[in-house]
Amino acid sequence: MKKIGILNGEISSVVSKMGHKDLIAIGDCGLPIPDKTKRIDIALSKGIPSFIKTLKNVLLELQVEEVILALEIEENNPKVFEEIKKQFKNVKFTFITHEELKIMLNECKAVIRTGEQTPYANIILKSGVIF
Protein backbone atom coordinates (compact mmCIF):
# COMPACT_ATOMS: atom_id res chain seq x y z
CA MET A 1 0.00 0.00 0.00
CA LYS A 2 1.25 3.46 -0.92
CA LYS A 3 1.94 5.46 2.24
CA ILE A 4 2.53 9.03 1.04
CA GLY A 5 1.37 11.39 -1.68
CA ILE A 6 -1.71 10.86 -3.79
CA LEU A 7 -3.56 7.72 -2.72
CA ASN A 8 -6.13 7.83 -5.54
CA GLY A 9 -4.76 5.36 -8.10
CA GLU A 10 -6.16 7.10 -11.18
CA ILE A 11 -4.84 10.54 -10.21
CA SER A 12 -1.46 9.13 -9.17
CA SER A 13 -1.18 7.26 -12.48
CA VAL A 14 -1.96 10.31 -14.62
CA VAL A 15 0.41 12.57 -12.67
CA SER A 16 3.25 10.03 -12.83
CA LYS A 17 2.91 9.79 -16.62
CA MET A 18 2.84 13.54 -17.28
CA GLY A 19 5.67 15.15 -19.20
CA HIS A 20 6.75 18.74 -19.68
CA LYS A 21 3.88 20.96 -20.82
CA ASP A 22 1.21 18.25 -20.40
CA LEU A 23 -2.09 19.50 -18.99
CA ILE A 24 -4.36 18.26 -16.20
CA ALA A 25 -7.49 19.99 -14.91
CA ILE A 26 -9.30 20.08 -11.60
CA GLY A 27 -12.89 21.23 -11.65
CA ASP A 28 -16.06 21.78 -9.74
CA CYS A 29 -18.85 19.24 -10.01
CA GLY A 30 -20.56 21.18 -12.80
CA LEU A 31 -17.65 21.45 -15.22
CA PRO A 32 -18.57 19.75 -18.50
CA ILE A 33 -15.86 17.21 -19.30
CA PRO A 34 -15.40 16.25 -22.97
CA ASP A 35 -16.15 12.61 -23.74
CA LYS A 36 -12.64 12.02 -25.13
CA THR A 37 -10.89 13.36 -22.02
CA LYS A 38 -10.24 11.02 -19.09
CA ARG A 39 -12.67 11.76 -16.25
CA ILE A 40 -11.48 11.08 -12.72
CA ASP A 41 -14.61 11.58 -10.65
CA ILE A 42 -13.89 11.91 -6.94
CA ALA A 43 -17.06 13.88 -6.07
CA LEU A 44 -18.83 12.34 -3.09
CA SER A 45 -21.35 15.00 -2.08
CA LYS A 46 -21.75 18.78 -1.96
CA GLY A 47 -18.31 20.21 -1.27
CA ILE A 48 -16.63 16.85 -0.69
CA PRO A 49 -13.86 16.81 -1.61
CA SER A 50 -13.31 20.51 -2.00
CA PHE A 51 -11.54 22.02 -4.97
CA ILE A 52 -8.75 23.52 -2.83
CA LYS A 53 -8.04 20.31 -0.88
CA THR A 54 -7.87 18.40 -4.15
CA LEU A 55 -5.55 21.00 -5.68
CA LYS A 56 -3.24 20.89 -2.66
CA ASN A 57 -3.08 17.11 -2.86
CA VAL A 58 -2.23 17.10 -6.57
CA LEU A 59 0.47 19.72 -5.97
CA LEU A 60 2.25 17.34 -3.59
CA GLU A 61 3.41 15.41 -6.66
CA LEU A 62 2.98 17.63 -9.73
CA GLN A 63 5.56 20.20 -10.79
CA VAL A 64 3.62 23.13 -12.31
CA GLU A 65 5.01 25.81 -14.60
CA GLU A 66 1.73 27.50 -15.55
CA VAL A 67 -1.74 27.90 -14.09
CA ILE A 68 -4.67 28.54 -16.43
CA LEU A 69 -7.84 30.03 -14.95
CA ALA A 70 -11.08 31.53 -16.21
CA LEU A 71 -11.12 35.32 -16.17
CA GLU A 72 -14.43 35.12 -14.35
CA ILE A 73 -13.01 33.54 -11.18
CA GLU A 74 -11.56 36.74 -9.71
CA GLU A 75 -14.93 38.52 -9.64
CA ASN A 76 -17.25 35.55 -9.13
CA ASN A 77 -15.25 33.43 -6.66
CA PRO A 78 -12.64 35.65 -4.95
CA LYS A 79 -12.24 33.32 -1.95
CA VAL A 80 -11.16 30.35 -4.09
CA PHE A 81 -9.06 32.64 -6.29
CA GLU A 82 -7.11 33.88 -3.24
CA GLU A 83 -6.54 30.29 -2.08
CA ILE A 84 -5.26 29.33 -5.54
CA LYS A 85 -2.78 32.21 -5.55
CA LYS A 86 -1.41 31.08 -2.17
CA GLN A 87 -0.46 27.70 -3.64
CA PHE A 88 1.94 29.01 -6.27
CA LYS A 89 5.24 30.87 -6.14
CA ASN A 90 7.05 31.88 -9.32
CA VAL A 91 4.44 30.25 -11.54
CA LYS A 92 2.93 31.94 -14.59
CA PHE A 93 -0.82 32.66 -14.39
CA THR A 94 -2.79 32.80 -17.64
CA PHE A 95 -6.40 33.97 -17.76
CA ILE A 96 -8.81 32.96 -20.50
CA THR A 97 -12.59 33.00 -20.73
CA HIS A 98 -14.53 30.18 -19.11
CA GLU A 99 -15.65 29.10 -22.59
CA GLU A 100 -12.01 28.91 -23.75
CA LEU A 101 -11.13 26.92 -20.62
CA LYS A 102 -13.84 24.38 -21.42
CA ILE A 103 -12.42 24.00 -24.95
CA MET A 104 -8.90 23.49 -23.52
CA LEU A 105 -10.19 20.49 -21.54
CA ASN A 106 -9.90 18.58 -24.82
CA GLU A 107 -6.10 18.91 -24.53
CA CYS A 108 -5.90 17.67 -20.92
CA LYS A 109 -4.61 14.23 -19.97
CA ALA A 110 -7.45 14.12 -17.41
CA VAL A 111 -10.01 16.21 -15.57
CA ILE A 112 -10.46 15.59 -11.86
CA ARG A 113 -14.09 16.27 -10.89
CA THR A 114 -14.47 17.36 -7.25
CA GLY A 115 -17.55 17.93 -5.11
CA GLU A 116 -16.99 21.70 -5.23
CA GLN A 117 -20.15 23.73 -5.76
CA THR A 118 -18.89 27.28 -6.16
CA PRO A 119 -18.64 29.18 -9.46
CA TYR A 120 -15.56 28.98 -11.67
CA ALA A 121 -13.63 26.67 -9.30
CA ASN A 122 -11.74 25.18 -12.23
CA ILE A 123 -8.05 25.15 -13.08
CA ILE A 124 -5.77 23.75 -15.73
CA LEU A 125 -2.23 22.97 -14.63
CA LYS A 126 0.64 22.84 -17.11
CA SER A 127 3.33 20.43 -16.02
CA GLY A 128 6.83 21.74 -15.53
CA VAL A 129 10.14 19.96 -15.09
CA ILE A 130 12.08 19.34 -11.89
CA PHE A 131 15.51 19.98 -13.36
Q: Where are the domains of the chain?
A: 9-127
What are the residue numbers of the active site? 20
| pLDDT at position 33 | 98
| pLDDT at position 67 | 98
pLDDT tens sequence for the chain (131 residues) = 888 889 999 999 999 999 999 999 999 999 999 999 999 999 999 999 999 999 999 999 999 999 999 999 999 999 999 999 999 999 999 999 999 999 999 999 999 999 999 999 999 999 999 99
How many residues appear in the chain?
Answer: 131
Query: C-alpha distances in angstroms, 74 versus 38, 88, 97, 126?
Result: 27, 16, 12, 20
| pLDDT at position 117 | 98
DSSP state of 32: P
User: Is there a cis peptide before residue 49, judged by omega within 30 degrees of 0?
Assistant: yes
Q: Binding site: which residues?
A: 28, 98, 120-122
For the domain 9-127, what is the CATH code? 3.40.1650.10
The pTM score is 0.96
| pLDDT at position 17 | 97
Q: Binding site for substrate: which residues?
A: 28, 98, 120-122
